Chains A and B, each alone.
Chain A
Amino acid sequence: MLGEGIIQGLVETARNFFGSYVEKDRLTTVQYPEERLPLPEASRVFPFLLYDGKDPDAGLRCVACQICEKECPPRCIHIEKSKDKKPDFVGKMQVYPAVFDIDVSVCMSCQICVEVCPFDAIRMDKVFELSTDNRFRKLLYTKKELSKPNEYYQKIHPLEAAETDERRAKEAEEAKAKAAAAEAAAKAKAAAAAATPPVGEASGNGAAAPAKLAETKGSPQ
């Protein structure tokens, strides 16, 4: 009959209206600044720089290789290399960024910098409340603001961080082993150099080169 559907609709809205005062389920809104939904593990916004240990300057993983600066599609990263060097996590001497700026108003959170970084130095953050009243100063993030400890990374992306840490630990071990081996080799070499005369070395090299050439020719390619 005419008007029946209208009454059904009115009943439904009335149920919603009065139900909203008794049933919590009828109000699905999350009151954002006070209540927050937990962010999913995979959520990622804006990059940050990782450092190991306590000191952001000493432990910074970035070696100012500038790959991310070149790869960044909107060109929001600005890096200036340092003049001096400091040891990295394996003890190798590396340059470090004297200036590392990211303009977060330009950054589009594409994550390419993270993918190209060979040093696990830059990672995606989970912050998104970056709005500010000063668009010139406060949206340009400097090295100081960008540097965050590895513990923070472990907190926001635990699975990824564990994987990275494991790999890095292995690398460090390998590097150490290599260093030890190199040291041992160097020592052995030094001992050998002390034993054999230098002429024999030169002739040995000359004999090895033709043999290597023949090897490549013989391969099935």
Chain B
Amino acid sequence: MTPLAGCLLVSSLLFSVGLAGALTRRNAILVLAGIELMLNAANLNFIAFWRFGPHPEFLTGFMFVIFSIAVAAAEAAVGLALILAIYRHARTSDVSEITEMKG
């Protein structure tokens, strides 16, 4: 197995773990954590492709990761603020109990 394939496999495994967490856990914070894990798996892919790709000198994948980290920071901040607001509203952070907008 080449290093690139190894990286991609690790990344896909991490993605699946994040996905499983986001789907199964009921606490909103952990759902967010699962999403962060998936985002990180994607970042690992970018780094791997940058590192083993044909043109590392253009820094494309690298820059994508930098920007992605910045976006993730913003996402986490807003997401957790949302969870806090919802918690204050509904007194729970369990996503399966927040059913007020259900049709």
Q: Does chain A touch chain B in the assembled complex, meaning CB atoms less than 8 Å apart?
A: no
- Enumerate chain B interface residues (CB-CB to A < 8 A): none
